[in-house]
Amino acid sequence: MSADRDRAAANRAAARRDAARAAGQGSAYPIPTRPALDVHDLPTVTFGHRDVMWWGTNGFVIVETMTLAATVASYFYLRRNFDAWPPTGTPYPSVGIPTLNLVLLLLSIVPYYLLEKAAKKLDRDNLVKWLWVSVAFALATNVLRGFEIAGLNTRWNSNAYGSVVWAVVIVHTTLLITDLFETLVLATIFARKREQEKHYPDASDNSLYSYFMILVWVPLYVIVYWVPRW
């Protein structure tokens, strides 16, 4: 009798296991299922705030804005401590090449805008074209920036004026160099046909960074080259 009871218990246990493995409605022991969504219609590439790199680019812009704001605050703080600015014996910075470079920077907004439009349309041919045009502008502005620095007419360690003017210009120059290399890398990727879908939003975000880099120089240009003359 004991053996019969054991066999009956084993059979019931086996039946429960079979029922638990069974699929289909009405099973005594249904298998738990996870909720699922049909996402096949979602886009494979996104732009703007739906793209994580857009947030990264904006975060970088905020950090660089704070860095430049600190250099500008230092500039005006030091300015208050001098009767003459620049100090007596220090010539004014040259304005010819800096003004030319500012005009060139503002003009470069056009190709950056056009490459952004091409990127959002996934228009590869136009994107490649405007990327290389932007590279040419970025290269030219970087070369002119070298002449700008030489035209500051003061050394970085000559006095407080020289140090803070160099700080403002050099910090912005790092943005110029970053923009050149980022645009060049993207242009090379597309020219060699190594791009992936994610590189289209990258190109669009690169334009966003370029707008910041260009427009932030306008007040800095006034501070460096014209405030000493006022």
Q: What rounded mean pLDDT belongs to the chain?
A: 87
How is residue 158 written in tokens? 């000559």
Residue 41 lies in a domain: no
**Same domain assignment for residues 87 and 113:** yes
For the chain, the residue count is 230
Count of domains forming the chain: 2
Q: What is the pLDDT of residue 180?
A: 96
pLDDT band at residue 220 using 50, 70 and 90 as cut-offs: very high
Question: In the chain, what percentage of residues exceed pLDDT 90?
Answer: 69
Residue 121 lies in a domain: yes
**Same domain assignment for residues 25 and 86:** no
CATH code for position 145: 1.20.120.80
Count the neighbouring beta carbons within 10 Å of the beta carbon of residue 203.
Answer: 27
**Same domain assignment for residues 14 and 52:** no
pTM of the model: 0.79
**Same domain assignment for residues 21 and 112:** no
**Same domain assignment for residues 122 and 202:** yes
pLDDT band at residue 193 using 50, 70 and 90 as cut-offs: confident
Residue 65 lies in a domain: no
Q: What is the pLDDT of residue 49?
A: 84
Q: Tell me: the pLDDT tens digits for 132-164?
A: 999 999 999 999 999 999 999 999 999 999 999
Domain enclosing residue 18, as ranges: 1-36
Whether 112 contacts 150, CB under 8 Å: no
Please report how the helices 52-79 and 199-215 are oriented relative to each other, as an axis angle in degrees rounded to 10. Answer: 10
Candidate from 27-36, 58-67, 94-103, 116-125 with smallest mean pLDDT: 27-36
Mean pLDDT along residues 107-126: 95
Candidate from 43-52, 77-86, 138-147, 193-202 with smallest mean pLDDT: 43-52
Q: What is the DSSP string of the chain?
A: -HHHHHHHHHHHHHHHHHHHH--STT-SSPPP-------TTS-S---GGGSHHHHHHHHHHHHHHHHHHHHHHHHHHHHTT-SSSSPTTPPPPP-HHHHHHHHHHHHTHHHHHHHHHHHHTT-HHHHHHHHHHHHHHHHHHHHHHHHHHHTT-S-TTSSHHHHHHHHHHHHHHHHHHHHHHHHHHHHHHHHTT---TTHHHHHHHHHHHHHHHHHTHHHHHHHHHTGGG-
**Same domain assignment for residues 125 and 23:** no
Candidate from 16-20, 43-47, 106-110, 187-191 with smallest mean pLDDT: 16-20
Among the listed residues 29, 32, 8, 6, the one whose alpha carbon sits nearest the alpha carbon of residue 17: 29
- The identity of residue 67, as a single letter, is T
Q: Tell me: the pLDDT tens digits for 11-70?
A: 666 666 665 555 444 455 555 667 777 666 666 677 888 788 889 989 999 999 999 999
pLDDT band at residue 8 using 50, 70 and 90 as cut-offs: low
**Same domain assignment for residues 75 and 6:** no
